[in-house]
Structure 1
Amino acid sequence: MRKFWMASAALLLASPALAADMFMPYAPEPYYAMSGGHWGGQYLGASLGGQRTRIVVPGQGTIEGNGFVGGLFAGYSVHEDNFVYGVEADGEWSSFDQSIACTNPAWTCRGYVNFQGSLRARLGVATDAFHIYGTAGLALAHAGGSTTSPANVEYHDSSVRAGWTVGAGAEVAFNDSWFGRAEYRYTDLGPHDMTLDVVYPNVAVTSHALRAGIGYRF
């Protein structure tokens, strides 16, 4: 009988602790949107932004202004430890189309860029849901322009230009598949001759662009 009462007393003493264990809520394990290696693989996305384009026409002046850019990007990345590296391509529509008075103010000088794209290498550092990167590579664009005489005769020329682009950006993961990004890039399409009413040598096209985008990683 004595053993029975001792066992009962021990059970009663332990009951509050057992009850506390049964009803005490446990803190959930912390959730990280991304873990090591999850910035790797194929991805596809869309971006929209603003771009300031500058076309320098020797002897005539500078045509510059702001416009919108928007399009698609796709790439492939490898994630090893904290480093992320890979390649990315993009294609964009551009709204830049500006005109100024030529050196002879009776004439009008026009310049535009209506399509652009790039093929770039990327190298970055990722920590959980954040990824910061630099990028550089080949840039392409369809650019052109015209001169218009006082008699409203237009002389037009356009071509696909090749140059280079460099920039940096940051990405944040919303989950294991979806991510958002913000990016800045400078692009130099180099000097090219343009044949309008006369030959204009070394017409240079450069731009600064800010983009925001959203992507899906497969």
Structure 2
Amino acid sequence: MSKKLIFTAALLSLATPAFAADIIEPAPVVKAPIVPAQIFSWTGFYIGAHGGGAWSKWTGIDPTDPTATWSSATASGGIVGGQIGGNYQISNFVIGLEGTGAWSSVTLNAGGPFGGGAGFNLSLKNDYIATVAGRFGVAFDRVLLYAKGGAAFTRDKYSVNNGLAGPLAGSASGSFNRTGWLAGGGIEWMFVPNWSVRAEYNYMGFGTITEQPVTTGNLVATPANVKLNIQTGTVGVNYHF
């Protein structure tokens, strides 16, 4: 019996290292690092183009009609231009500064404060609209809602003739630059990296200035106080650097 026990113990002692060698250690599990999702930011500079419509309202007295009374007239037309600016985002708030310049076809061709009387041919227009304004907005990832306010610039181009011929013919003309204020707002969407589209509305007030046209021939013009406001509605596209 004792020989059998000794023999069995010897076999077990020989088999144990072989059995242990057959146990394969599992490979360690390596977890991929967690990369936080990149947060979109509106910070940076941009340049773009815009187009749309504009509506002007002149209020005043016709300088070529001494019998005229204070009245108002409206005109509309298209605008096409560009913009350049920069944004800086803090949390989900965005502040920025933007400058715009646009060609305008807003033209009044008859009636109103510069009607000139029967038989007169009139053209009164705003041939450009420019602004420099600050922007403040709230970003919802790639969508930005913003308000803006600042300075606005435009020009009244006045031209009229009395429709007569010979020694009775007369005309008046003048260009009058204006500076005013702007308030507006819009929405902008970054639809692909670096490119956004936007829609915007602005109201511009230019107060009252004195306009004195230069006359030729048989036409007299007196200084006239003229007030102006302009509204614009535009859509645009921006490229962000």
- TM bin, normalised by shorter chain, reads 0.7 to 0.9
Match of 1:76 in 2: 86
- RMSD of the alignment, in Å? 2.2
For residues 148 and 39 of structure 2, the distance between their equivalents in structure 1, rounded to whole angstroms, comes to 23
Structure 2 gap segments, 5+ residues each: 1-36, 62-68, 214-219
Q: Choose which of 174, 177, 187 in structure 2 pairs with 1:157.
A: 174
Shift of 1:142: 2.0
Structure 1 gap segments, 5+ residues each: 1-30
Q: Choose which of 96, 99, 112 in structure 1 pairs with 2:125.
A: 112
Give yes or no for contact 1:63–1:110 (8 Å, CA) kept in 2: no
Paired residue secondary structure (2:110)? strand
Shift of 1:161: 0.9
For residues 193 and 185 of structure 2, the distance between their equivalents in structure 1, rounded to whole angstroms, comes to 22
Give yes or no for contact 2:116–2:160 (8 Å, CA) kept in 1: no
Match of 1:3 in 2: none
What are the within-5 Å matches in structure 2 for residues 29-108 of structure 1?
35-36=39-40, 38-58=41-61, 59=69, 61-101=71-111, 102=115, 104-108=117-121
For residues 121 and 76 of structure 2, the distance between their equivalents in structure 1, rounded to whole angstroms, comes to 19
Match of 1:143 in 2: 156
Give yes or no for contact 2:116–2:162 (8 Å, CA) kept in 1: no
* Per-residue CA distance 1:73-98 (angstroms, 9 max, x = gap): 00011011010001000000001122
Percent identical residues: 26
Shift of 1:57: 2.5
Q: Choose which of 113, 121, 134 in structure 2 pairs with 1:121.
A: 134
Q: Choose which of 160, 184, 191 in structure 2 pairs with 1:167.
A: 184
Paired residue secondary structure (1:174)? strand
For residues 148 and 60 of structure 1, the distance between their equivalents in structure 2, rounded to whole angstroms, comes to 21
1:133 aligns with 2:146: yes
Shift of 1:175: 2.2
For residues 235 and 186 of structure 2, the distance between their equivalents in structure 1, rounded to whole angstroms, comes to 10
Q: Choose which of 208, 212, 229 in structure 2 pairs with 1:195.
A: 212
Flag the structure with higher strand content: 1
> Aligned pair count?
187
Larger Rg: 2
Task: Please tell me the residue identity of whatever aligns with 1:205.
Answer: L
TM-score, length basis structure 1: 0.79
